[in-house]
Chains A and B, each alone.
Chain A
């Protein structure tokens, strides 16, 4: 199997998980973030469920020489907690809190055919492009 076919199937599983969990729904995400209001703790169960599987998988990856379809594990190498990490994460948190979409659920929500996820994804791609252009200069 090529790495693109496996990526397509794995992406499908990820998107299905976003739909099943409720994370694709911005109202549910905002309900989780609204601790002072009528709090909906569902998102903590989504994160917990994901970590139950991802944690042992990461430990297993450490003991393997290489992944099934690639020669190396491509792991993040940066270790420092620097200004771009914190400022970038804060800007992301602001945008996430305003609408309730983060990147994965925004892509998955394109499946609903509503115009709002489409507009959000276009703006998000714009934001990424602005970052790339500014960094190059």
Chain B
């Protein structure tokens, strides 16, 4: 159970959108995290370096927020370790097979009004919501 926080949600969303906008306008690249991560394996030279730099930046972001506000935003992970492993494998494999995740399809793809990304986003949203329903209200 979490509290509805529309203002911080909107503010953080604007920051995410601004980052996606800047990566496109400055570097000419799509800010899809799964694609950027996969590209670390399959590229060499600067094509690999900028991707690694972006991922390091992703980790530095919350640290910067913690430095500015004095506290690291709290997170709660209730999943057990076997579930984390299974889910991690599914997310890694699935996002590469489906060419994108929440950022690549859900933000960048929808911003391009891409029917392919709309289909992908609808699919992972519906499946994720169905999974939570089964985990919380059928099994749980």
Contact = CB atoms under 8 A, between A and B. Distances in A.
Given A11-B60, A37-B137, A108-B59, A24 B73 contact: yes
Interface of B: 1-6, 8-31, 33-34, 37-38, 41-42, 46, 49-66, 72-79, 81, 83-103, 105-112, 114-116, 119-121, 123-133, 135-137
Interface string A106-124: 1111111010110111111
A19 B61 contact: yes
Interface string A43-65: 11111111111111110110010
B74 A46 contact: no
Given A16-B65, A92-B101, A103-B101, A40 B4 contact: yes
Interface of A: 2-28, 30-31, 33-38, 40-58, 60-61, 64, 66-76, 78-81, 84-104, 106-112, 114, 116-117, 119-132
Given A11-B60, A57-B21, A47 B107 contact: yes
24 contacts: A4-B53, A15-B64, A20-B73, A22-B73, A23-B12, A25-B76, A37-B1, A50-B107, A58-B21, A64-B25, A86-B120, A89-B94, A92-B127, A96-B128, A97-B129, A97-B132, A98-B90, A102-B33, A103-B33, A107-B37, A111-B72, A120-B84, A121-B88, A124-B37
Considering residues B9, B49, B76, which has the most beta carbons from chain A within 10 angstroms of its beta carbon? B9
A19 B12 contact: yes
Contacts of B130: 93, 97
A124 B114 CA distance: 26
A121 B40 CA distance: 14
B5 to A, nearest CB: 5
B17 A54 contact: yes
Contacts of A26: 75-79
Contacts of A48: 10, 13
Considering residues A55, A93, A117, A131, which has the most beta carbons from chain B within 10 angstroms of its beta carbon? A93
A24 B4 CA distance: 15
Contacts of A43: 9
Nearest to A25: B75
Nearest to A121: B88
A45 B61 contact: no
